[in-house]
Amino acid sequence: MYTVIMSSHTADRLIESTRVLLWERGYVGTSPKAIQQHAGAGQGSMYHHFSGKPDLALAAIRRTADEMRAKAEAQFTAPGTAVERIAAYLRRERDVLKGCPIGRLTQDPDIMADPVLRAPVEETFAWLRGRLAGLLAEGRERGELPAGLDPAGTASTVVAVLQGGYVLARAAGSTEPFDQAVDGVLGLLTTHSTAR
């Protein structure tokens, strides 16, 4: 029993170390040796739990994606109108200057070139657009948003503004452009909201 707990703990440390290193160095800059050193685990431990760097990177990306979805879902399922829940999601506390943990992976050519590593990134953004589209459709059905609103197109706009806000903030070295982008898209949604 004790070995299983230690074994599970080692796998967890390896995944967390890979998440940190992918974030800081990208896929190419994250070597198995660097992962092992960061995790305080030996080569044998790493290859006991994972078949290699791609397998470990996939586990790290999936964990990041799952974490992002869970945080978003907390706002999406809270009480309030569709626009209020979307606003809570967009305005939640984030480390804006570090960027989006999933969005930044799209800038890594090695991850994007590998269909297996790209899949959780693609699935997460598809889920986010779909979830936002569902909220917007719900708002439209409840009469909170105009009948002519395109939920899918508006959801893609919200995601694009959020991701673009991260880029603008990182380029400026300030969270101000991010906040302005969020305020801007929420202003547009609120202007069209009938639940004021």
Instruction: Please check the confidence at residue 192 and state whether its pLDDT lies above 80.
Output: no
Of the pLDDT bands very low, low, confident and very high (cuts 50, 70, 90), residue 5 is: very low
Backbone angles phi, psi at 132, to 5 degrees: -65, -40
**CATH code matching the domain that covers 1-50, chosen among 1.20.1640, 1.10.3470, 1.10.10, 3.40.50:** 1.10.10
**DSSP codes joined into one string, 47-108:** HHH-SSHHHHHHHHHHHHHHHHHHHHHHHHTSSS-HHHHHHHHHHS---GGG--TTGGGGG-
What pLDDT, in 10s, does the model give residues 19-55?
Answer: 999 888 889 989 989 998 998 888 888 888 888 899 9
Residue type, 22: L
Residue type, 6: M
For 93, counting Cβ atoms within 10 Å of its Cβ (0-12 exposed, 13-18 middle, 19+ buried), the class is exposed
Which residue from 120, 173, 170, 163 is spatially nearest to 185, judged by alpha carbons?
163
Q: From CA 169, how far away is CA 175, in angstroms rounded?
A: 5
Which residue from 161, 163, 165, 160 is spatially nearest to 179, judged by alpha carbons?
165
Report the predicted TM-score, pTM, of the whole model to 2 decimal places.
Answer: 0.88
Superfamily holding 63-191:
Tetracycline Repressor, domain 2 (1.10.357.10)
- Report whether 127 contacts 142 (CB < 8 A): no
Q: How far is CA 121 from the centre of its chain?
A: 8
Instruction: Please check the confidence at residue 14 and state whether its pLDDT lies above 70.
Output: yes
Instruction: Please check the confidence at residue 196 and state whether its pLDDT lies above 80.
Output: no
Residue 8: count other Cβ atoms within 10 Å of its Cβ.
11
Average pLDDT over residues 142-165: 96
What pLDDT, in 10s, does the model give residues 57-77?
Answer: 999 999 999 999 999 999 999
The reply to whether domains 1-50 and 63-191 share a CATH topology is: no
Which residue from 121, 106, 99 is spatially nearest to 167, judged by alpha carbons?
99
Average pLDDT over residues 81-95: 96
CA distances (Å), 16 to each of 11, 21, 62, 139, in order?
A: 9, 9, 11, 38
Q: Where are the domains of the chain?
A: 1-50, 63-191
